[in-house]
Structure 1
Amino acid sequence: MPAYPGDSAERIAAALARVPATDSSVAGVTKRLLDFFTSGEIDKGTRLPPERALAESMGVGRSAIRESLAALEILGVVDVKPGSGTYLRGGASELLPQTLSWGMLLSEPQTRDLIETRGELEIAAARLAATRIGDDELRLLEQHLDAMRTHQDDPVRFIEADLKFHLQVAESSGNKVVFDLLQSIRSLLRIWVERGLRSESEAHLAYDEHREVLEALRTHDPARAQAAMQHHMETAGARLSATIEAHPAEG
């Protein structure tokens, strides 16, 4: 599989060392990597140096590099291929939106704004989907809801089913802008969602809220669908806010 040219690892490491250091937190390291990736110094598809080399060139621990690369993979910036390496997925212009998105998460107030924005978009998506959703989409939502019911004792699988449920509602809205925005926002907030699901009882409450949304969509009543999603977003937003307060800006 193609890799970087012979001296590229050293060149990338040297270039990263020149990127101004803000802090050594995961957020700080991620921002430095994004700044470098959008500088145009390396091309799309370039394989990055190993974690150890990146850590040494940036003067941070390998764990910070590992977590930063995981975050960048979620954002769609890099592609991590086990046994092969980590590759840059886009060119400088393609990665600018991800840079802006990551910047929104660097402070608690902006994270709260993102939660509020997500809520408004989810409510709009449910209202639109109520009049546009078809039987096939309703069956998919039922499948995702069944997965949530089955995996209330498994946070990872429960959250995965939760994500699929919401993205299906967004897709059923028929509004691609709403879908794309919600997909990006949910990826950015996923770490807080994972931290916020602290017990099986909370998972059960979340399951009930999703069931109400599905039942509302079955009636094709926009007002009922909007109300059901608004109730869910209010409780989900409260859970996320409590999680942020319990884990303040820890990077």
Structure 2
Amino acid sequence: MPVYPTSATEEISAALGAMGAGSASSAVAKRLLELFTEESISPGTRLPPERQLAASLAVGRSAVREALAALEILGVVDVRPGSGTYLRGNASELLPQTLSWGMMLSRTRTAELAEVRGALETYAARLATERMSDESIEVMRTHVDEMRASSADFARFVEADLQFHLELARSTDNTVLLDLLQSIRSLLRVWSDRAVQDDDHARQAIEEHAAVYEAIAARDPDAAAAAMAAHMRTAAVRLAGTVQTHAED
């Protein structure tokens, strides 16, 4: 098998081959992973630019951009603004099979992963209500306040949302549950970060997080679980809409 030097963008593009118009970003990511694992591409290799990858695969640039974002989240590639995208290491070592199926397959599999996350988050809310310190409850309140203050600032809003769920997961005092939630959240993040797309979605998400916080602050595990389950249902609907939109790009 050929070994590609860092600057060998033409060879990589030729090896990819066209996928056909309309291919989803998940299929692009899967095709890139196949290339990384099947060919002997050295760590540190710079990938072709988005435009060239899109032309080689016969897909839109948005599909390539989403695929590279997913691979960056999973640690497979390193996107360096102004420089390019580089392979971090041997992809077969960087991406265990236990993680690859969740992100890289069909829209149905993504929905199933969101369903599992919903069940785990609901259980985590119940457990955290019983175990969370007063200090952690106060931290969760600040995250809800930050969401309210940054509803017009997408990056801040998403970060506050993430920190809310991380604080809750940590407060379960269950390392396995925390690790599972972090892994699933990472796999879904390329989609979930785009799920809140307008003021109505932001207001709904804030109300849902506030309901979870208030139930936990009241030390009511049943209410906390119910509030989280409701949040996960609407979050799954928003996520499905986002995946559908990008699949049609």
Report the TM range for the smaller structure's normalisation.
Answer: 0.7 to 0.9
For the residues of structure 1 that align with 2:200 and 2:12, how far apart are their CA atoms?
A: 49
**Displacement, 1:56?**
5.4
The AA in structure 2 aligned to 1:250 is E
Q: Secondary structure at the match of 2:96?
A: helix
Q: Secondary structure at the match of 1:9?
A: coil
* Correspondence 1:162 to 2:165: no
Q: TM-score, normalised by structure 2?
A: 0.79
8 A contact 1:213–1:228 mirrored in 2: yes
Out of 16-25 and 126-135, give the one that drifted further: 16-25
Q: Secondary structure at the match of 1:31?
A: helix
CA shift in 2, pair 1:245/1:77, >3 Å: closer
Counterpart of 1:231 in structure 2 is 230
8 A contact 1:13–1:57 mirrored in 2: no
Counterpart of 2:143 in structure 1 is 144
8 A contact 2:20–2:58 mirrored in 1: no
For the residues of structure 2 that align with 1:208 and 1:75, how far apart are their CA atoms?
A: 30
**Residues 188-227 of structure 1 aligned to structure 2 (within 5 Å):** 188-227=187-226
For the residues of structure 1 that align with 2:225 and 2:204, how far apart are their CA atoms?
A: 18
Counterpart of 1:18 in structure 2 is 15
Counterpart of 1:95 in structure 2 is 95
**Residues 76-91 of structure 1 aligned to structure 2 (within 5 Å):** 76-91=75-90
Question: What are the superposed Cα offsets for residues 146-180 of structure 1, whole Å, 9 maximum, x if unpaired?
Answer: 11111223344323321221122122222333333
8 A contact 1:74–1:187 mirrored in 2: yes
How large is the Cα RMSD of the aligned pairs? 3.1
Q: Secondary structure at the match of 1:197?
A: coil
**Displacement, 1:40?**
6.2
**Residues 18-167 of structure 1 aligned to structure 2 (within 5 Å):** 18-19=15-16, 21-24=18-21, 25=23, 26-39=25-38, 41-55=40-54, 57-58=56-57, 60=59, 62-91=61-90, 92-97=92-97, 98-104=99-105, 106-107=106-107, 109-167=108-166
**Displacement, 1:210?**
0.9
CA shift in 2, pair 1:139/1:39, >3 Å: farther
For the residues of structure 2 that align with 1:169 and 1:192, how far apart are their CA atoms?
A: 21
Unaligned runs of 5+ in 2: none
Q: TM-score, normalised by structure 1?
A: 0.79
**Displacement, 1:52?**
4.9
Counterpart of 1:249 in structure 2 is 247
Counterpart of 2:172 in structure 1 is 173
Q: Secondary structure at the match of 2:128?
A: helix
Out of 49-58 and 23-32, give the one that drifted further: 49-58
Unaligned runs of 5+ in 1: none
For the residues of structure 2 that align with 1:202 and 1:40, how far apart are their CA atoms?
A: 43
Out of 111-120 and 197-206, give the one that drifted further: 197-206
CA shift in 2, pair 1:196/1:60, >3 Å: closer
The AA in structure 1 aligned to 2:196 is L
For the residues of structure 1 that align with 2:47 and 2:169, how far apart are their CA atoms?
A: 34
Q: Secondary structure at the match of 1:86?
A: strand
Q: Secondary structure at the match of 1:83?
A: coil
For the residues of structure 1 that align with 2:229 and 2:185, how far apart are their CA atoms?
A: 17
What percent of counterpart residues are identical? 48
Question: What are the superposed Cα offsets for residues 157-212 of structure 1, whole Å, 9 maximum, x if unpaired?
Answer: 32332122112212222233333332333344345445543432332222122112
CA shift in 2, pair 1:142/1:75, >3 Å: same
For the residues of structure 2 that align with 1:61 and 1:230, how far apart are their CA atoms?
A: 36
**Displacement, 1:73?**
1.6
8 A contact 1:217–1:225 mirrored in 2: yes
The AA in structure 2 aligned to 1:184 is S
For the residues of structure 1 that align with 2:171 and 2:160, how far apart are their CA atoms?
A: 16
**Displacement, 1:39?**
3.2
